Structure 1
Amino acid sequence: MDTGRYQGGDVAARLKTARRAAGFLSAGAAAAQHGWGVSLYQQQESGNRAFTASDVERFAEAFHVVPRWIVTGQGSENERLAEIIQQASQERSTRSRAAAGRLRFSRLLRGFRTVGSAAETIGLKRTTLTSHELGSVDLSTEWASVYGAAFGVRPLWLTAGTLPSGLGEKVDSYLKGAQPSTPDEAKDHAAALRNVSITPVAANRVAIAQALKKLEATSRRGVPLSKRRPTGTVMIPEVQPTLLRTPPTSEGAGESVEEARPKPVRTWGLPSDYLASVLKADARDLRVVASAASPTARSAGERYVISTAPASLNEPGSFVLSLPSGSLLVARLEAGDRSLGETLAGEGREEAGTLLGRLVVRISQVD
């Protein structure tokens, strides 16, 4: 990658796409999560401030894309993948705004005219409820359970719009024809029902406490919910080639060293739609290996996404072999009985290498 400066235009647009695809609905949320200056990053993404090549590396690492894609639109994220990322980002934004609208609609119909009064009743910070009502933070199923207990509505309706809502038959009859699709629409829909008699409900504090406890318990070993991988993204581990060999001893037969010591160098995020429709691969069988001897530098050499599924090893195709020198060899092999860790030679080559897996896709080198 060159050492130039980048500002605005397609570069800023791709940076925004990568950020949203990584699950951050706002530039401020991404900056706060990664410890960047919020105002500076917002200006960089909006095109009002330039950023350097080192900034690109930092953004790419945070958003699980290759740096060259942010700068040029080329690299492992080809045009088809970029379209999938953009589409997934837009769909996620639409769903998030609709859920936020239903949440605000619920609060208003239950008689809470302000966010502050509702938050105080529930026992939450005002900023927490505000972020969910504005859609700046996704409404997870765990949080939907909290608000469902607070406003007497069904969590599934909050997250997906599936009726009944829990607000009564008259409200559901109205919602069959129109539901709030954005936070701004919530007030208009609530006003349209101002003459409808809605039974008031008291916040179920026991259920709220249970939902909050479950929310904390499902934060995955103390990792904050904001750091969870975005919905629709599959994380593929990058491992050292030596960890993909099957141990020759009978102890732990069938279990690879990589499985026994799952210590990936890093993980790479790919949209699940891309894996299913384009690569047609099962993420559980995929690994990423680097062609350079040392895979610790993100720009060091090419990466190969390989499949370690036993069934895929016996079919004809391209396979990745690890040579004694530490480099990798892509070899075209015919059908045959093969297994991980087996020593093979590519057609027309004298080198023999250890079979790591079947080549699924190549990630181009980043200059």
Structure 2
Amino acid sequence: MDKVKYVQRIRRPNGAVDLYFRKGDHREGPLKSLDGSPELKAEVDAILARLARAQAAQTPRAGTVGGAIQRYRKSADFIRLAQSTQKEYERLLNEIAADVGEVRLVEVDKPWIKDLRDLWAPRGHKATNDRVQVLRNALMPAVEDERIKTNPFLKLKKLAPPHNADEVNLAWTDEEVDAFIALALQRNMPGLARAVALGRWGGFRRGTICNIPLNARVIAQDDDGLSQRRLYWTTEKRKVLCDKREDSRLSAFLESTPTKALTIAYDQRGHPWKERSLNQAVARLVDTLALTKRARPNLTPHGLRHARGLELAYAGASDAEIMAQLEHTTERAARIYRRQAERRRMADSGQDRVDNVVALKAERKRSSNGA
């Protein structure tokens, strides 16, 4: 009798042969049937039929939210995302499919989306808004081809944070950056200090901080033919070209700290940072600084990027200049930084007027008392 497909033979030390079913990652056995017997093929066919039924049960039905999610995973829009973003989206898509995967697309409308948003609300405003956004990405093809008749996300408001919630990714102050770097160097963690320097003076995202190599620092010539240090790299998240003159503060700091890896920043073992490990290392030192009021709690690596963006805006950089510095693909974030800088200038200008009035009143009072 011919060999049966998916049957693996394992010879034991005593000479006996056990038969196992093996297809992809699925393995079971030993099988009950004898090798070469007609019953063996029947046993294998029964296993295949059982696996097919299980697969069918797990495969989302067409015309459901789960089916739309499955199609989105195979779409060009999903594939072009950065790997780190894909991984996070996969986690959210799995949770969404578990929650509402069996809902038919014809049932999806604005009231349903609002109810779902409110159902997710106890998880927190950011977690809720992230899920709504990922669900929107997955369902938009169905909206465009009218399997969903009207856009249920049109004018849908995001879930607002609690009034007493801290600002997400607070921008670091220069004093906090200095205190963090000093503590990291004191604890013999120059690679962590370098990571913070890249975020603050390079404006890089966490993924780039972890991966930017030493050879991204290049020597080039300016328009006058003079040598200058530049950062030349394709960023991790958006695959945007970074080509900018290195901030002199960053250059000085990198020259003053040791190089121990092929990446600019590195962990305690001299290896490139993992994003999660970098978050944890920053959080530990921030917590230490917060105990002595040298830093606010809950500072994050992304807050360093915000500090760089605000610094550019305070210096009068245009939207295009901020975009080029921070490797943005749209002007939206640049406009936010510029508005924040303008609000601060206006607030200070308003305080100057108050100070002038207070000084004028004081001068008049002194003059009247002297008379």
Mark yes or no: TM-score above 0.5.
no
Q: TM-score, normalised by structure 1?
A: 0.22
Give the TM-score, by structure 2 length: 0.22
Larger of the two Rg values belongs to structure: 2
